[in-house]
Chains A and B, each alone.
Chain A
Amino acid sequence: MKTGKWYETMGNEGDVAFSTRVRLARNLAQFPFPARLDEAGRRRVTAQAQTALQELLPELRFIDMAQLPRTQALSLAERWLISPAFAQGKPGGALLLNPEETVSIMLCEEDHIRLQVLQAGLALQEAYRIADQIDSALGARLSLAFDEQLGYLTQCPTNLGTAMRASVELHLPALTALGRVARLGEGISKLGLTIRGTHGEGSEAQGALYQLSNQITLGITEEAALENLQAITLQIAEQERRAAAELLRQPQAEDQVWRAYGILQSARRMESQEALRLLSLVRMGAVRGLLPVKKEAVHALLPLIQPATLSLQNAAGEQPAAQDRDALRAAVIRERLAASGSKI
């Protein structure tokens, strides 16, 4: 069942840090930004960037977003490889993707080039090193928009400077259950970082998944921004571990985890939100050694159960109706849990 994708392994601090992303925004100096380009202009930018990038990295697959079936495009967004807006498939936009799905480069999204490196677990230095190498090689081939004062020039002024957005996807079920996530915010914003729920809005983050990222890009070096993120992630991870130990001592909380496991092993229909909520509990039970199930298996299920990605599991690759999708989701979860766990 392994496909060699990054999310099938758990990286450093993998109990808490789901994944790491580093994104660099770059623009070609001689073209207006994407919002002021017509389709022909976007195609020219895309072609120039594509040539340079595929010379550097021949394994990159070129995907014309306007030609890509909708389910596949949405699945790419669900797996954080592209932005939801980019999945709309505006003509002239294209994606370059490596086979491991760790390097994804959006051409003519908000900026001409959005280079993203994804890694399992907490791997900020590694992800940045890869992004930096590609960017440096690219900068030697193409003339990039750069200003001595404002750094890399981007369509949106909030990205000026390093134009780097680094983020760590965190799973914080115990801190969420104990109502302590809001308290994390204070120290985080002092360092120019921000934390928000990955799914859903406000404090009610579904699946207890959060994204911690740098917000400030001008007047701070890449290294300093990454060090801040690294330090805060390690602090939060420690807090989550302590909170989990405290939480799982409560009989009710322990019972909830076992119940969630029971439902996922036997349910015949499973809506996406319910699946996320229960898998979050089971993931906590697995990484804390409470449940007799391989934590990697639960971990890999999280990206898989989202609507479009799930639909691609269908033999026919067609988009099933919502009802059938719920049945398919329940079946995929049962299968994976049965293959990885021992009977109770």
Chain B
Amino acid sequence: MLCEQCKQREATTHVRRVVNGEAEEFHLCAACAGEAGLHAPGIPEFGLHLSELFGGFLGNSFAQGASAAPPPTGQRCAFCGCSLQEIARSGQAGCAQCYQTFREQLQPSLKRIHGALQHTGKRPAAPSEAQRREERLRHLREKIAAAVAEERYEEAARLRDEIKGLEEGGAAQ
């Protein structure tokens, strides 16, 4: 039988995967299996194999036109400049924003990998009011030091007022 990925060479590697009780099988040729990391030597690392398979399958579903929404060609992540094709090829997103930009196109592959599309685990605690103020103060103090060093006194005065306001606001609470 022919490789399901490239549809050119003879399939020699049989991949069977069970996600939440649903089995999936793939037949790949040596070259595509190698690309998918199935022959990577040494200790398999944190999702390495799956990540590369992910790239492969994502590319594959585009080739078949099976993706939920074909990506508008040339669309890039506004934050990091990554295209969907690059994500498909590497099996890696460029930045957090990529998941926002390509959410719809990525969902079928994510569903195949995880069997689900909604996170149910831990959530980061929102930083408290005091922590946010601390962070802002640290940032302003850095800026005021730079402004003074560069003799931008008007800006430094404005920053000083802002810092004073924040510190008093903090003390009042």
Contacts and interface: CB of A to CB of B under 8 A. Distances in A.
A and B bound? yes
Interface of A: 23, 25, 27, 29, 31-33, 35-36, 83-85, 110, 114, 132, 135-136, 139-141, 143-162, 164-165, 189-190, 192, 196, 198-199, 201, 215-222
Given A153-B99, A155-B93, A164 B18 contact: no
Interface residues of B, number: 47
Interface of B: 17-21, 41-47, 50-51, 54, 79-80, 82, 90-96, 99-100, 103, 106, 109-110, 113-125, 127-128, 131
Where chain A touches its partner, the secondary structure class is: loop
B119 A151 contact: yes
7 contacts: A83-B43, A139-B125, A158-B51, A160-B119, A161-B121, A162-B121, A222-B122
A158 B45 CA distance: 12
Which DSSP category, helix, strand, loop or mixed, fits chain B's interface?
A: loop
Nearest to B16: A189
Contacts of B113: 157-158, 218
User: Which of A141, A158, A165, A217 has the most CB atoms of chain B within a 10 A radius of its CB?
Assistant: A158
Contacts of B100: 147
Contacts of A27: 96
A218 B124 contact: no
A265 B7 CA distance: 56
B45 A140 contact: no
B88 to A, nearest CB: 11
A219 B20 CA distance: 11
Given A27-B96, A218-B110, A136 B54 contact: no
Nearest to B43: A84
B125 to A, nearest CB: 6
Ranked 10 nearest A-B pairs via Cβ: A219-B116, A151-B119, A145-B96, A218-B114, A139-B124, A189-B18, A162-B121, A156-B51, A158-B47, A32-B95
A165 B119 CA distance: 15
Contacts of A141: 127, 131
B117 A218 contact: yes
Q: Which of A110, A114, A135, A155 gathers most chain B CB within 10 Å? A: A155
A198 B43 contact: yes
A49 B117 CA distance: 29
A50 to B, nearest CB: 16
